[in-house]
Amino acid sequence: MRTQITEMFGLRVYTDRAVFIGNVDDVVLDVDQKKVDALAVGELNPEIGEVKGYTGLQIPFRVVKSVGDIVIVRHIPGLFKLPAKDD
Amino acid sequence: MSKTFCRSLARKKVMSNDGMLIGTIKNIIVDLNTGQVVDLLVKPDETFKTDGYRTDGDKMLVPFEAVKDIKDYVVVDRYLLKR
């Protein structure tokens, strides 16, 4: 599936545990390997962990599972917390 | 420098390794299944003749394999351009 990179800007990024991370701000290319290296994600969801002081996250492309209307990445428990439930 | 942000590539000029100005980057085409960067979509400069090159409408397709390096300009190999 071939996509123009500008179509990825602004896509919402979720983990496969349905946790919202943020929106795609930019895409990082590895020029030597000729590959997509990472997605730069901004407007982070404050509930996924310590995002204070950060304007964005770079999500390595190897954890990206699927890109369509939204982006789905593998859930990494140490990195993304499930939102705490209020009982 | 091997890693670069796509937004910093927008409107960068594309030049061949023999010093010819080819055009300006308009978009980048990637294969999202493999993560491979496939093509650059380049708006050709008026001085550049696109005969014999792959084009899509008024844009030219530059295979990313031809890209030598990206700094102030995007330098591509003239011989790898035609595919």
CA–CA distances in Å: residue A84 to residues A49, A74, A80, B38: 10, 19, 12, 41
Q: Which of residues 7-36 of B touch A (CB under 8 A)?
A: 7, 9, 27-36
**Which pLDDT tens digit goes with each residue over A35-51?**
999 999 998 888 877 76
Under CATH, what is the fold of the domain A5-73? SH3 type barrels. (2.30.30)
Give the start-to-end residue ranges of the domains of chain B: 6-80
Confidence label for A87 from pLDDT (cuts 50, 70 and 90): very low
We find that the CATH architecture of domain B6-80 is Roll (2.30)
Instruction: State the best of A26, A29, A33 to mutate against chain B, taking most chain B CBs within 10 Å.
Output: A29
At B64, list the tokens: 């990313």
Report the complex ipTM.
0.83
Residues 6+ apart with CB under 8 A from A87: none
Calpha distance B54→B60 (Å, rounded):
6
Nearest C-alpha of chain B: how many angstroms from A38? 9
Q: pTM of this prediction?
A: 0.84
Q: B59 has which bridge partners? A: B56
Please name the helix (run of DSSP H) or strand (run of DSSP E) that holds residue B79, with its range, or none: helix B78-81
Give the start-to-end residue ranges of the domains of chain A: 5-73
Q: Are B3 and B25 in contact (CB under 8 A)?
A: no
CB-nearest to A28 from B5, B27, B67 is B5
At B7, list the tokens: 């937004």
Q: What is the mean pLDDT of residues A72-84?
A: 76
Calpha distance B72→B53 (Å, rounded):
24
Calpha distance A75→A20 (Å, rounded):
11
- Interface membership of B57 toward A (CB under 8 Å): no
